[in-house]
Amino acid sequence: MLDLPTTLENQINQLAAQAGQPVELFLDHLIADYLDDMNDVAEADAIYQRIQSGQETTVPFEQLLKDNGVDG
């Protein structure tokens, strides 16, 4: 399936065993989590770019607390 370096394959096998999961299921979860993280990074970067270009603004944390009736 995948041609992984032996050290990486051993580490995956060990972690899957510690998690009590078959390697295939462990890799499915690992890859899904990684893809979720990469989507989060892309979304954060897009928001940052909109802020930098002035298309989107931010609110100071203190103002957010005040606007929502939270003592800060």
Per-residue pLDDT of the chain in tens (72 residues, 90 and over written 9): 679 999 999 999 999 999 999 999 999 999 999 999 999 999 999 999 999 999 999 999 999 999 999 985
Answer whether 50's CB lies under 8 Å from 44's CB.
no
Q: What is the pLDDT of residue 2?
A: 77
Q: Give me the residue spans of the domains in the chain.
A: 15-67
pTM of the full predicted structure? 0.72
Rounded to whole angstroms, the Cα distance separating 29 from 23 reads 10
SS3 2: coil
Q: How far is CA 31 from CA 23, 39, 58, 70, in A?
A: 12, 12, 33, 39
Q: What is the pLDDT of residue 71?
A: 80
